[in-house]
């Protein structure tokens, strides 16, 4: 096969072109130095190449500084990458690393001049992370850190990998718990806009980030990257603000919080061992206006907390309100009552009564068309039936024991 005919045949094969051909970049003696000059930044060199180091400091509000000061020293970490998959071919081209210094956060950004410099960038990033006691990220558990691990592994940098701090605080799960429902999403941008009061103007959308880097590599101006650096800088600052806000909420700030998922807050408090305060959060949330599903979740949580504190009466009373209307939710509430009576009062007959009522309520709800759909009713029905079967068996067993007892005493 001659090369010419191959090229011709390739023209046919290439049905979709990713983009129009670009002019090749003009040969630069050293891309790394040129890039550093453009940013007016320094070049950090290291075995395996060099990375551009852009260092900027941002002043933080005193309250934030005060809230974060007692914590172990953190490195606020966020990366910009050439794609969103965590497969081997996605490369970190920009790493932002923020550290608190006095009343400011100092952000060092390491930018990759071109692919061959990657080992140097990775070494510099690892060294910077290793200086801190913990890493703080937003979705770092799912993305940034696995990707960093992948890249370090590709280059065989196992020593650097082993030296990374063990403690990693990913703020995404916390933000989901506290803000996703009220905000309708838990992207960092949602939290910034809804909670932190951060306003980004002329921001570079995340979806454009890889293309900006590819554009630069193909010989475009680094101008497009300047926005990416700013975007990354703001991400790092927001991380610190968010961590401070979470601390504030946990320290009682939830009482006056506007947009907050109370149930999530209770979970968050429980995770930090504050169960009394968690119950307080839940009770504060159970006002009449709250919707059915939400109320049910809150009540379950409160029940858990009350039972743990030995307050069985209060736990059962919580459900009394919910059992009045014929609905699938009411049936579920009666099931909760059955569970409380069975487990926490050892009252099998009372539990059976509640379970029977649950079944009747469910039948009625279904007949009235208030069940919330076949599927919802079916799901509750399965649970009702399972509990009924079990309770009937136990009650029958208890009855048999009862029946035996007088005879035994008679023999004696």
Partner 1 sequence: MLLDRPTSAEEAIAAFLADPSLEPLVAAHRVLKPQPPRHAPWPDGLDPRLVAALHGRGVEALYTHQARAVEAVRAGKNTCVVTPTASGKTLCYNLPVLDAVARDPTARALYLFPTKALAADQLVELRSLADAAELGLKTHTYDGDTPPNVRSVVRAAGQVVITNPDMLHAAILPHHTKWFKLFENLQFVVIDELHTYRGLFGSHVANVIRRLRRVCRHYGADPVFICASATIANPADLAERLIEAPVELINDNGAPRGRKHILVINPPVANEHLGIRSSSVLTAQRLAERLIGGGVQTIAFARSRTAVEVLTSYLRETFAPLPGHPHTIRGYRGGYLPNERREIERGLRDGRVRGVVATNALELGIDIGGLDASISVGYPGTIASTWQQMGRAGRRTSTSLSALVCSSAPIDQFLASHPEYLFEQSPEHGLVNPDNLHVLLNHLRASSFELPVPAAERFGIAETPTLLDVLEEDGYLRHADDDRYYWSHENFPASTFSLRAGAPENVVIVDTSGDRNRVLGEVDLFAAPLLVHEKAIYIHEGVQHHVDRLDWDERKAYVTRTDVDYYTDADLGITLKVLEVFDEADEPPAGKRQRGEVMVAWKVTMFKKIKYHTHENVGWGSINVPEQEMHTTACWLVPPAELVNRYDRDTLDGALIGLARVARTTASLLLMCDPRDIGVLAQVQAPFTGRPTVFLYDAVPGGVGLSERLFGLTDELVAASAQLVTDCRCTEGCPSCVGPATEVGSRGKRVAAELLAGLGGG
Minimum distance, C-beta of residue 212 to partner 1, in the bound complex (Å): 11
Pull the structure tokens for residue 239. Answer: 């991380």
Query: What count of Cα atoms within 13 Å lies in the side-chain half-sphere of residue 183?
Result: 20
Give the residue, chosen from 70, 89, 197, 406, that forms a contact with partner 1 under the rule CB under 8 A: 89
Cβ 33 to partner 1 shortest distance, Å: 13
The CA distance from 349 to 392, in Å, is: 9
**18: three-class secondary structure by DSSP:** coil
Q: What is the CA radius of gyration of the chain?
A: 30
The answer to whether 18 contacts partner 1 (rule: CB under 8 A) is: yes
| 6 forms part of the interface with partner 1 (CB under 8 A) | yes
Q: Is residue 5 involved in binding partner 1 (CB under 8 A)?
A: yes
Judge whether 222 and 39 are in contact, CB under 8 Å: yes
21 lies in the binding site for partner 1 (CB under 8 A): yes
Closest distance to partner 1 from the beta carbon of 390 (Å): 28
Q: Which of the ranges 16-24, 272-280, 283-291, 357-365 carries the binding residues for partner 1, by CB under 8 A?
A: 16-24
Minimum Å gap between C-beta 163 and partner 1 is 18
Smallest gap from Cβ 125 to partner 1, in A, equals 16
Contact positions with partner 1 (CB under 8 A) in 95-134: 114-116
Question: Closest separation between CB of residue 86 and partner 1, Å?
Answer: 8
Which stretch in 183-191, 208-216, 252-260, 329-337 sits in contact with partner 1 by CB under 8 A? 208-216
- The answer to whether 150 contacts partner 1 (rule: CB under 8 A) is yes
Q: Is 19 an interacting residue with respect to partner 1 (CB under 8 A)?
A: yes
Give a three-class secondary structure readout of 330-363. HHHHHHHHHHHHHHHCCCHHHHHHHHHHHHHHHH
C-alpha to C-alpha distance for 329 and 383, rounded to whole angstroms: 13
9 binds partner 1 (CB under 8 A): yes
CA–CA separation, 297 vs 409, rounded Å?
49
22 contributes a contact to partner 1 by CB under 8 A: yes
The reply on whether position 83 binds partner 1 by CB under 8 A is yes
Count of residues engaged in binding partner 1, rule: CB under 8 A: 37
Joined tokens for residue 356 = 């029977």
Does 217 participate in binding partner 1 (rule CB under 8 A)? yes
Q: What is the DSSP letter of 133?
A: S
Asked if 31 is part of the footprint of partner 1 (rule: CB under 8 A), the reply reads yes
In whole angstroms, give the CA distance from residue 405 to residue 388: 25
How far are the Cα atoms of 87, 221, 275, 310 from residue 301, in angstroms, in the given order? 39, 55, 11, 14
**Alpha helices (runs of H) in 155-291, residue ranges in sequence order:** 158-162, 171-183, 188-191, 209-217, 223-250, 262-271, 275-285
Nearest CB to partner 1, comparing residues 18 and 199: 18
Binding site for partner 1 (CB under 8 A): 1, 3, 5-7, 9-10, 12-14, 17-19, 21-22, 31, 82-89, 91, 114-116, 149-150, 153-154, 210-211, 214, 217-218
């Amino acid at each position: 096969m001659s090369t010419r005919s191959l090229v011709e045949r390739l023209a046919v094969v290439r049905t979709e072109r990713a983009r129009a051909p670009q002019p090749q970049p003009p040969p630069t003696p050293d891309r790394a130095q040129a890039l550093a000059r453009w940013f007016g930044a320094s070049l950090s060199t290291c075995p395996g190449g060099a990375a551009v180091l852009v260092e900027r400091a941002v002043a933080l509000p005193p309250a934030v500084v005060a809230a974060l000061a007692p914590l172990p020293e953190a490195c606020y970490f966020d990366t910009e990458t050439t794609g969103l998959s965590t497969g081997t071919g996605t490369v970190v081209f920009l790493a932002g690393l923020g550290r608190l210094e006095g009343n400011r956060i100092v952000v060092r950004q390491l930018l990759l001049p071109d692919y061959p410099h990657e080992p140097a960038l990775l070494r510099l990033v690892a060294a910077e992370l290793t200086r801190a006691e913990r890493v703080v990220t937003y979705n770092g558990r799912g993305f940034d850190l696995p990707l960093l691990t992948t890249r370090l592994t590709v280059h065989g940098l196992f020593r650097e990998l082993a030296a990374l701090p063990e403690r990693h605080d990913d703020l995404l799960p916390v933000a989901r718990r506290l803000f996703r429902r009220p905000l309708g999403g838990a992207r960092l941008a949602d939290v910034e806009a809804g909670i932190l009061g951060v306003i980004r103007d002329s921001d570079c959308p995340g979806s454009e980030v890889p293309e900006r880097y590819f554009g630069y590599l193909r010989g475009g101006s680094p101008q497009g990257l300047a926005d990416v650096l700013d975007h990354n800088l703001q991400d790092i600052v927001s991380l610190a603000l968010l961590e401070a806000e979470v601390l504030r909420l946990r320290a009682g700030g939830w009482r006056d919080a506007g947009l907050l998922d109370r149930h999530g807050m209770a979970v968050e408090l429980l995770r930090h061992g504050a169960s009394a305060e968690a119950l307080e959060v839940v009770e504060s949330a159970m006002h009449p206006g709250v919707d059915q599903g939400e109320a049910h979740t809150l009540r379950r949580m409160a029940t858990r907390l009350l039972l743990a504190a030995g307050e069985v009466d209060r736990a059962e009373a919580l459900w009394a309100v919910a059992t009045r209307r014929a609905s699938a939710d009411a049936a579920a509430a009666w099931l909760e009552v059955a569970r409380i009576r069975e487990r926490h009062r050892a009252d099998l007959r009372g539990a059976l009564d509640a379970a029977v009522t649950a079944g009747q309520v469910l039948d009625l709800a279904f007949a009235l068309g208030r069940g919330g759909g076949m599927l919802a009713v079916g799901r509750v029905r399965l649970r009702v039936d399972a509990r009924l079967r079990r309770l009937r068996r136990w009650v029958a067993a208890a009855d048999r024991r009862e029946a035996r007892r007088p005879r035994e005493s008679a023999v004696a």
